């Protein structure tokens, strides 16, 4: 029996190149290595508010039959209370949604394989409000491949996924997500 995971990014344009392999690894580690992981591209969200509105109003009718939804907003606006409210609202509709706000943005996950090359300490990078521009972009320029789709984001996350326990230690929200997924699978 197949297990279907719908991954919901704030903006799928480039984020899917990071999220699909990341979620495949986490869901596999939680006990479903053969899960079907799809990053939502239709509708194509343009930010947090658009994604929230669609999760509450549009997506349940189209994707409500999926086994698990994972929402990956940037942490700047995704407070724990707001994410808990969203999860409960979908649960009432029979949809299992888990939110994982990325600290500070999901590009941090692709940086985890290159901690010594970031130009600032890891803890500082995790708090950097301009992570994408000041930390991730230079790393992508150096380690990515602009001839590839996603400009090599898949290469960066592949490096980070080489050591999943280290990634969990560097990004504890991913370990918490993994544990929550495992709990859902055993419930």
The confidence score (pLDDT) of residue 69 equals 98
Residue 130: which residues within 8 A CB-CB, separation 6 or more?
none
What is the domain count for the chain?
1
pTM, two decimals, is 0.95
Question: H-helix or E-strand containing 36?
Answer: strand 36-39
| Per-residue pLDDT tens digits for 1-34 | 589 999 999 888 889 999 999 999 999 999 999 9
| Per-residue pLDDT tens digits for 88-126 | 999 999 999 999 999 999 999 999 999 999 999 999 999
pLDDT at 165 over 90: yes
| Per-residue pLDDT tens digits for 60-89 | 999 999 999 999 999 988 999 999 999 999
**98 close to 87: Cβ distance less than 8 angstroms:** yes
> The domain containing residue 179 runs over which residues?
4-186
Question: H-helix or E-strand containing 38?
Answer: strand 36-39
| Per-residue pLDDT tens digits for 48-63 | 999 999 999 999 999 9
pLDDT at 187 over 80: no
Count of CB atoms within 10 A of residue 3's CB?
Answer: 16
Q: How far is CA 124 from CA 32, 65, 135, in A?
A: 34, 40, 10
- The predicted model gives 142-165 an average pLDDT of 94
The confidence score (pLDDT) of residue 1 equals 58
The confidence score (pLDDT) of residue 11 equals 82
Q: How far is CA 100 from CA 40, 86, 175, in A?
A: 16, 12, 10
Q: What 3-state DSSP class applies to 52?
A: helix
């Amino acid at each position: 029996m197949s297990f279907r995971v719908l991954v919901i990014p704030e903006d799928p344009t480039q984020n899917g190149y990071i999220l699909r392999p990341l979620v495949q690894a986490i869901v596999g580690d939680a006990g479903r290595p053969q899960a079907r992981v799809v990053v939502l591209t239709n509708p194509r969200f343009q930010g947090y508010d658009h994604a929230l509105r669609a999760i509450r109003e549009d997506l349940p009718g189209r994707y409500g039959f999926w086994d698990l939804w994972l929402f990956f907003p940037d942490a700047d606006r995704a407070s724990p209370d707001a994410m808990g409210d969203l999860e409960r609202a979908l649960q009432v509709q029979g949809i299992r949604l888990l939110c994982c706000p990325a600290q500070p943005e999901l590009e941090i996950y692709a940086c985890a394989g290159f901690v010594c090359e970031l130009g600032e300490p890891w803890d500082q990078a995790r708090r950097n409000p301009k992570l994408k521009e000041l930390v991730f972009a230079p790393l992508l320029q150096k380690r990515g491949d602009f001839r590839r789709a996603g400009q090599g984001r898949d290469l960066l996350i592949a490096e980070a996924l080489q050591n999943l326990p280290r990634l969990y230690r560097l990004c504890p929200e991913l370990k918490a997500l993994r544990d929550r997924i495992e709990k859902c699978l055993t419930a």
